[in-house]
């Protein structure tokens, strides 16, 4: 694909990948080899995380439509080979996280996709994109589950940093859904969500202990949005820049 046509985003906003059982099958070994290479690259290129994780779901029986989606990621990488994570020297050392969810985004089983990212100051240090294990009945529930998963990772990072002599009192999780935020604070609303797996409710206990807090952030400033769904070019480029993925001239 050295002479392929370059594109500005790793996945088109109109892409709706399904099992495509009537589609033409492709070489599984070749498809999985491409997936493996891209998974390795997600360790330093968060901008392709969602697209790669979506294509990973079809490794067992890949079709031509899935291969086309994989090739688009390579076409995007062809035009962005000089982009890399940038860690500014003068950054602060505040721990902050963003949590987001795409409600019922999966076209196969209608499960939601969680996306989250973690910053130390202005430096992106961890990111995550994964389909949720259970079907959410509302956007608030999907966002609440995503925030709970984000909280677990944030708590681990907070305790790990203690070993290095870095202490944080109340670490924020930025969420763009007010209903999900209310679930972490309002005991009445909490009692009405018993159908949600109990493992997701520990976030409320940590909020009460003031170890974390869940704050509202406008959807326009929700950086984890890039890990939950395909985005238009302008929105994608803005979030990519906010994540600290910049064009770096090494010459």
**Residue 79, CB-side half-sphere exposure with 13 Å CA sphere:** 13
Mean pLDDT over residues 89-118, rounded?
90
Higher confidence at residue 65 or residue 188?
Answer: 65
Copy the structure tokens of residue 99.
């949590």
Answer whether 140's CB lies under 8 Å from 183's CB: yes
User: Is the CB of residue 171 less than 8 Å from the CB of residue 94?
Assistant: no
Confidence of residue 188 (pLDDT cuts 50, 70, 90): low
Annotated domain spans of the chain? 1-81, 95-229
Q: What angle do CA 127, 131, 135 make, to 5 degrees?
A: 140
Residue 228's nearest CA partner among 156, 120, 149 is 149
Helix ranges, the chain (H):
28-41, 49-56, 64-78, 139-162, 178-183, 187-191, 202-208, 233-242
pLDDT at 136 over 90: no
pLDDT of 198 > 90? The answer is no
Question: Alpha carbon 118 to chain centroid distance?
Answer: 10
CB 211 within 8 A of CB 97: no
Q: Evaluate if residue 66 carries a pLDDT over 60.
A: yes
CATH classification (class only), 95-229? alpha beta
pTM comes to 0.91
**CA 199/CA 151 separation, integer angstroms:** 11
Q: What is the mean pLDDT of the chain?
A: 90
Residue 23: is it exposed, middle or buried by C-beta count within 10 angstroms (0-12/13-18/19+)? middle
């Amino acid at each position: 694909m050295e002479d392929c046509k370059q594109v500005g985003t790793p996945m088109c906003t109109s892409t709706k990948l399904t099992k495509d059982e009537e589609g033409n099958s492709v070489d599984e070994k070749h498809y999985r080899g491409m997936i493996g290479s891209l998974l390795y690259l997600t360790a330093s290129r968060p901008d392709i995380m969602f697209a790669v994780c979506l294509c990973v779901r079809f490794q067992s029986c890949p079709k031509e439509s899935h291969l086309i989606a994989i090739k688009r990621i390579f076409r995007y990488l062809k035009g962005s080979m000089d982009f890399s994570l940038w860690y500014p020297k003068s950054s602060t050392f505040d721990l902050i996280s963003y949590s987001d969810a795409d409600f019922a985004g999966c076209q196969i089983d209608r499960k939601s996709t969680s996306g989250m990212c973690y910053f130390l100051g202005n430096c992106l240090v961890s990111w995550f994109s994964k389909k949720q294990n259970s079907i959410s009945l509302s956007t608030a529930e999907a966002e609440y589950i995503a925030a709970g998963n984000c909280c677990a990772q944030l708590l681990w990072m907070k305790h790990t940093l203690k070993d290095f002599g870095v202490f944080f009192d109340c670490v924020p999780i930025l969420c763009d859904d007010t209903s999900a935020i209310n679930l972490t604070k309002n005991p009445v609303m909490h009692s009405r969500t018993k159908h949600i797996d109990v493992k997701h409710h520990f976030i409320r206990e940590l909020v009460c202990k003031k170890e974390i807090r869940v704050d509202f952030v406008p959807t326009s400033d929700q950086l984890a949005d890039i890990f939950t769904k395909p985005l238009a070019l302008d929105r994608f480029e803005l979030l990519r820049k906010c994540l600290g993925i910049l064009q770096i001239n090494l010459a």
